[in-house]
Amino acid sequence: MEIDWFTIGAQIVNFLVLVWLLKRFLYQPVLDAIDKREHRIAAAVSDAAESKAQAAKERDALAAKAEAFENQRAQLLAEAVADADRERERLNGAARKAFDVLKQQQRAALAQDAKTLSAEIGRQAEAEVFAVARKALADMADVTLEKQMTGLFVAKIAALQGTEKSAVAKMLAAKGTPSVIRSAFALPKPQRVAIASAIKAAFEIEPTLAFEITPELVSGIELVGDGHKLAWSLSDYLKTLEKSIGDLLAPEAAGAGGAA
């Protein structure tokens, strides 16, 4: 049997080419893929270990924060309880003080009410007495009495001196509105002329006068104007007496209030 060396050589070449092709295009890529996979697995394992360590570290940090928070919560709770106790004591003290002040105010109000009631009783009694006196004088007043009052008023004008006369002169010299003569009854013309003549003689001026009826004067006459007044009236005597009695009653009312 004859050996075909050409065929054997060709097969050997083909085998070598096949081996080279397998190594070049199959075996080496497989080895490279296996290496890459091993590297990826190692990196993943390393990352997992690092993540585990980081997780453990974070867990420990959270545990420490939780413990600190719990301690802080307990401290804040204790401080809140202490503050609440102090505030309760403060409010209790304020309530006691407010109650004491209220009691004092009530006592003062009762004393003031008693004082006011006593003073009001005195004023009412005083008003009734002087109302009766005024009514009696008004009932007794007549034209003759008013004529006598005019004469007394004229005499008072003639007797004016010093600051009182200066004040009346200023009142009569004021411009804009006339001076007013008030009386309880309508003054007859002779009495009006007498008053005007007395003013002219005393102040050397021609007065401009307006006459009004004022029943409250009881028996009397007054000259008013520019914030001043010149009067002669039994009512003035009653008011003076009324003020004196009021001054006397005021200390008694105060004493009654203090006693209450």
Domain end residue (candidates: 140, 170, 187)? 140
Element (H, E) at 184: none
220 C-beta neighbours (distance < 10 Å), count:
24
Residue bearing the bigger pLDDT, 14 or 174: 14
Identify whether residues 132 and 28 lie together within a single domain. Answer: yes
- Residue 28: burial class (beta carbons within 10 Å; 0-12, 13-18, 19+): exposed
Q: What is the pLDDT of residue 233?
A: 65
Verify that 192 and 119 share a domain, yes or no.
no
10's CB contacts (< 8 A; 6+ apart) are: none
Q: Are residues 73 and 146 in the same domain?
A: no
Examine the domain organization and report whether 232 and 249 are in the same domain.
yes
One domain, residues 190 and 114: no
| Partners of 232 in the β-ladder | 221
**Beta strand pairing call for 228-233 and 220-225:** antiparallel
pLDDT (0 to 100) of residue 242? 63
The least confident of 11-25, 37-51, 66-80 is 11-25
Instruction: Provide the H-helix boundaries in the chain.
Output: 5-22, 28-140, 143-158, 162-173, 189-203, 234-259
**Residue pLDDT, tens place only, 37-69:** 888 888 888 888 888 888 888 888 888 888 888
Are both 174 and 241 inside the same structural domain?
yes
Report the run of H or E that residue 232 belongs to, with start and end: strand 228-233
Query: Same domain, yes or no, for 59 and 125?
Result: yes
What's the average model confidence in pLDDT over 75-93? 87
pLDDT digits (tens, 9 = 90+) for 194-214: 888 988 888 888 888 888 888
Answer yes or no: are the C-beta atoms of 223 and 230 closer than 8 Å.
yes
Same domain, 30 and 154: no
Domain that holds residue 113: 1-140
Q: For the CA atoms of the chain, what is the radius of gyration?
A: 62
What is the Cα–Cα distance from 25 to 33, expressed in whole angstroms?
12
Number of compact structural domains in the chain: 2
Edge-to-edge strands of the sheet including 228-233?
A: 209-213, 179-183, 220-225, 228-233
Q: Are residues 14 and 107 in the same domain?
A: yes
β-pairing, 209-213 vs 179-183, is parallel
Domain end, chosen from 90, 113, 140, is at: 140
Per-residue pLDDT for 102 more than 80? yes
User: What value, to the nearest 5°, has the Cα angle with vertex 250 and ends 135 and 258?
Assistant: 140
pTM value is 0.39
Same domain, 247 and 125: no
Q: What is the pLDDT of residue 248?
A: 63
Domain boundary among 94, 124, 140: 140
Residue 260: what pLDDT? 47
Q: What is the pLDDT of residues 214-259, one digit of tens each?
A: 877 666 788 887 777 777 666 555 666 666 666 665 555 455 445 4
Rounded to whole angstroms, the Cα distance separating 180 from 226 reads 10
Domain match, 4 and 124 both: yes
- pLDDT tens per residue, range 119-156: 676 556 545 654 555 554 555 445 566 677 788 888 88
Q: Can you read off the two tokens belonging to residue 79?
A: 């401080």
Do 2 and 101 lie in one domain? The reply is yes
Question: What DSSP character marks residue 1?
Answer: -
